Amino acid sequence: MYLPKHFLVEDREILLKVMGEYPLATLIGNTDGELEINHIPLMVSKDGQYLHGHIARMNPLAKLAQAGAVKVTAIFHGPHAYITPAWYPSKYETGKVVPTWNYAVVHVQGALSLKEDPQWIRQHVSQLTDTHEPTYQSDWKLDDAPEDYVQMMLKAIVGIEIKISSLVGKFKLSQNRTPTEYDGVIQNLKQSSLEDLQAMLKLMQEK
């Protein structure tokens, strides 16, 4: 990843926060010389040392990991937003401005291993739903579904655990602009009601 120093974020707490708020990760592994790319919600363990998730038993990544731990990269995509040159005061002074795209991503590298224990898998799926159901003002639980159906679905998946070995973030948040232009971006983001732009504003104000 091309990573200019002013966009580098190494604060672990900040990175883990983005990973928790945007859990759908792009998971990349290597199977027989070909990239195996999956999009999987991953949960950070309480101690921040592992990522937990699940994949279909028929997934090529699961078959590869049966022989042992597999090196993978998980990419978490945080807020992103198109930044128009119209927001820079210099547009009206020199016109020497172009559009850009602000974004925050976290790259995690580690060794993926399978979790076959049925109890572990059930607990993981329950934790995943318990974490996200309140977002939709719902209290659905895994136990709400018929047990035979739950068992059938659980048998079709396998748990995965990724031991984190590297954690790095790239937060491109207009840090390379002048203070005046940076403030122009902030002020215009404040005026937007778009959810994506409000998420970008929040991150820029926190960073």
Q: What is the mean pLDDT of residues 182-192?
A: 95
Q: What value does the mean pLDDT of the chain take?
A: 93
- pLDDT of 207 higher than 80: no
Q: Is residue 150 part of a domain?
A: no
Q: Is residue 133 part of a domain?
A: no
- pLDDT of 93 higher than 80: no
Residue 68's pLDDT is 79
Q: What percent of the chain has pLDDT over 90?
A: 84
Q: Is residue 184 part of a domain?
A: yes
Residue 34's pLDDT is 82
Q: Which residues contact 12 (CB under 8 A, 6 or more apart)?
A: 48, 167
Q: How confident is the model at residue 89 (pLDDT cuts 50, 70, 90)?
A: confident
Q: Is residue 127 part of a domain?
A: no
Q: Is residue 185 part of a domain?
A: yes
Domain of residue 83, residue span: 5-121+160-206
Q: How far is the C-alpha of 42 from the C-alpha of 104, rounded, in Å?
A: 17
Q: Is residue 93 part of a domain?
A: yes
Residue 83's pLDDT is 96
Q: Is residue 146 part of a domain?
A: no
Q: Is residue 136 part of a domain?
A: no
Report whether 126 contacts 138 (CB < 8 A): no
Residue 164's pLDDT is 97
Q: How confident is the model at residue 9 (pLDDT cuts 50, 70, 90)?
A: very high
Q: How far is the C-alpha of 135 from the C-alpha of 62, rounded, in Å?
A: 30
Please count the other Cβ atoms lying within 10 Å of the Cβ belonging to residue 119.
8
CATH of the domain at 75: 2.30.110.10
Residue 95's pLDDT is 76
Q: What percent of the chain has pLDDT over 70?
A: 100
Counting the structural domains of the chain, the total is 1
Residue 94's pLDDT is 80
* Positive or negative torsion for Cα 193, 76, 57, 49: negative
